Amino acid sequence: MPRTATMIRRIALPAALAALAATAHAQETDEEVIVAHGVSNFGELKYPEGFAHLDYVNPDAPKGGEISEWASGNFDSFNNYTRKGVSAALTELMYEDMLAATADDPYGLYCYLCETLEYPESRDWVIFNLRDDVKFWDGTTMTAEDIKFTFELFMEQGITEYVNVVKSYIESVEVLDEYRVKFTFTDEAPRRDVIGIAGGTNAFSKAWFEETGARLDESTLEPFMATGAYKVDSFDVGRQIIYRYDENFWGADHPLNIGHNNFETIRVEYYADSSAAFEAFKAGEYTFRIENSSKDWATGYNFPAVQKGWVKTAELPDGNIGSGQSFVFNLRDPKWQDPKVRAAVRMMFNFEWSNDTLFYGLYERVNSFWENSPLEATGTPTEAEVALLQPLVDEGLLDASILTDEAVMAPVNEASENLPGRRVRREAANLLEEAGWTAGSGGFRTKDGQPLTLTVLSYSPTFDRIINPYIQNLRSIGIDAKLERVDISQYVDRRRSSDYDLVNHTFSMGFEPGIGLYQWYGSDTAEDSSRNLMGLQDEAVDRLIEIVVDAPTLDELATATHALDRVLRAKGFWVPQWFKNVNTVAYYDMYRHPEDLPPLALGYLSFWWYDEDAAADLRSAGAVK
């Protein structure tokens, strides 16, 4: 009996035939073939075979009603799998994978579009035994051919950063019969990740793609034919999208869906900026808001709808890893390749003053890429970490100080005023001089007189009050800094073309880091990545990613991640910003949620529900439109 999955006994005739096939594979490889309803790399799955529903949902939640939220800027495509165009919000509502995760089992993946999966202990391959009741929106049945087609479509037309990683891990995809598909993995594929890689394949309709000629690498306002619970009902480009629950949704009674997908419609209203969006919320033009502005949260929620009890505000727990929100440098520009220059720039951001004056003390400082989690590096390296880091030091890939120094923490400034103290400014200036920049009356310059310039690229006016004081601090030490705010389309294009010095970025790490690390930090993705925006190319980081990906136990994974986190922080390619460990939300009082929310998802679009009586009262009072 394997540790990583619950064995499933097959009793129906098709299942018995599949079991015979599994036996044949076992005979070929002399390995036990595991047949399971899911997979976990660390311990048992939380939910056993035949579970009725997830623990954190209300299985009797009423269906119907609408929830609405806002998005910034505009959109011109429903294809979020290409770097062309600006993708609409919430397109993920439409698309489904073979395996699904839950919000209370950080290491488990469960069969969703499949009934079971089977694989040998070596994980050289996996077979997904697909459900025979999965329907596309047009009523046609999903088959193994659709899964194979979709995978090959991504390998042919997907974004480069994804294709380069996955293509080297999956040797072949084979249709065994109408509802069975086999993925065979390469020898070098990381065995802990392979089933998740394969199971993350979307389900698109092969027949629809062949009929329409649609391409994955082009923007489009026609969503791909898929299987999700919601599909586009109507839209007005750049203004509004309405997603509607598919009344013929195949998965309504699936155990993973019981208590989910409770709203009939999900509406997204677009606004040019957050100020306009907030005013619209006050007027009842949309009904649910995740508040990301500390100023608005601290001072803005005293408007009449709150005073009358129409709008509720709440701080709900968030058990996810703290997101690594930051500014990142464009390392492709030679002037940002010197760590001393980056350190000087980093020292000039005064989080303490910002938090006290601008954020009303609501945030904590980001220090780690795995902030507020057991994967965060702390203090000096343990013996186990040193064992991983020492070879990289011996090869000259890391400075020896990484073995003895405490994990790098963000600079600390005084909160009494924005401008860092004279000592800090002098230290930053000394770093620039040590890096070869010459101080003068006009600021720091190269030997041939070129100034040290820095442009912070942004699109949100909300960030002006944060960036402008930072700009002032940078200019105070002789850096010719400026804020360049552009519209959302230009912002997306310039991020993609690496046309910036500093740009906002958020590093979203998981509890089981794996091959996705290559997209975030790997050298191979540096020239074309939506995640490795800084263009990091570092052999020591690459080597540590390999160790993390190959870690066979949870303890070894934690040690390897600590070492990687320690090195990434030492590289100093970011200016860490802030995080909070609660969800600050405001909503019109017609929504309800389970009393005990799961640690890893707020779930407001999924397992919250609509209270029709409360909504009727709000409409009668004129609270909502």
- pLDDT tens per residue, range 321-360: 999 999 999 999 999 999 999 999 999 999 999 999 999 9
* Contact (Cβ atoms closer than 8 angstroms) between residue 582 and residue 315: yes
Identify the three-state secondary structure at position 452.
Answer: coil
Q: How far is CA 234 from CA 68, 81, 161, 218, 293, in A?
A: 14, 21, 32, 21, 30
What's the whole-number mean pLDDT along residues 199-205? 96
Distance CA 211, CA 200 (A): 25
Say how many Å lie between the first and final Cα of the chain, rounded: 58
In this structure, the number of other CB atoms found within 10 A of the CB of residue 126 comes to: 23
In angstroms, rounded to a whole number, what is the distance separating the alpha carbons of residues 395 and 383?
19
Give 369's strand partners.
Answer: none
Q: Residue 73 and residue 87: Cα distance in Å, rounded? A: 11
What is the separation of C-alpha 459 from the centre of its chain, rounded to a whole number of angstroms? 20
DSSP letter string, 510-576: -SS--THHHHHH-GGGTTS-SS-TT----HHHHHHHHHHHH--SHHHHHHHHHHHHHHHHHHT-EEE
The predicted structure's pLDDT at residue 20: 37
H or E, element range at 485: strand 480-485
CA distances from 545 to 226, 283, 584 (A): 34, 49, 34
Paired tokens of 256: 């993973």
Q: Count Cα atoms within 13 angstroms, Cβ side, for 592.
A: 19
Task: Report the C-alpha gap between 230 and 417 in whole angstroms.
Answer: 50
Residue 24's alpha-carbon distances to 1, 27, 120, 197, in angstroms, are 19, 5, 12, 24
Q: Tell me the pTM.
A: 0.89
- Is residue 402 a contact partner of residue 381, using CB atoms and an 8 Å limit? yes
Report the percent of the chain where pLDDT is more than 70: 95
Q: Mean pLDDT lowest for which of 1-10, 287-296, 387-396, 539-548?
A: 1-10
CATH fold of 324-577, please? Dipeptide-binding Protein; domain 3 (3.10.105)
Q: Tell me, what's the pLDDT at 429?
A: 96
pLDDT of residue 15: 34
pLDDT at residue 496, as a whole number: 87
CA gap 179, 166 in Å, rounded: 23
Q: CB 309: neighbour CB atoms within 10 A?
A: 11
Chain centre to alpha carbon of residue 13? 41
Q: Domain spans of the chain? A: 284-319+581-601+613-625, 324-577
pLDDT tens digits, one per residue of 562-577: 999 999 999 999 999 9
The order of strands in the sheet holding 125-130 is 33-36, 114-120, 125-130, 180-185, 170-177
- pLDDT of res. 29: 53
Query: Does pLDDT of 479 surpass 50?
Result: yes
- Of all residues in the chain, what percent are helix, strand and coil, respectively (each to 5)? 30, 20, 45
For residue 148, name the pLDDT band (cuts at 50, 70, 90): very high
DSSP letter for 555, please: H
> Residue range 459-467: average pLDDT?
92
Q: Please give the backbone phi and psi of residue 26, each rounded to the nearest 5 degrees, phi first.
A: -65, -40
Q: Is the pLDDT of residue 173 over 50?
A: yes
> pLDDT of 295-323, one tens digit each?
999 999 999 999 999 999 999 999 999 99
Whether residue 399 is predicted with pLDDT greater than 50 in this model: the reply is: yes
Does residue 2 carry a pLDDT above 70? no
Q: Is pLDDT of 145 > 80? A: yes
**How far is residue 279's CA from residue 287's CA, in Å, rounded to a whole number?**
12
Q: What is the SS3 assignment for 38?
A: strand
Asked if residues 271 and 280 have their Cβ atoms less than 8 Å apart, the reply is yes
| Cβ atoms 347, 427 nearer than 8 A | yes
| Chain-centre distance for alpha carbon 259 | 24
Q: Determine the 3-state secondary structure of 289 from DSSP.
A: strand
Angle formed by the axes of helices 422-434 and 339-347, nearest 10°:
160
What is the 8-class DSSP label of residue 523? G
Burial of 103 per CB tally in 10 Å (0-12, 13-18, 19+): buried
Say how far apart CA 480 and CA 208 lie, in whole Å: 54
DSSP SS3 for 585: strand
Q: Is the pLDDT confidence value at 394 over 80?
A: yes
The angle subtended at Cα 170 by Cα 90 and Cα 530, nearest 5°, is 40
Mean per-residue pLDDT, 496-509: 95
- DSSP one-letter code for 417: -
Mean pLDDT of the 459-480 span: 95
Q: Is the CB of residue 184 less than 8 Å from the CB of residue 127? A: no
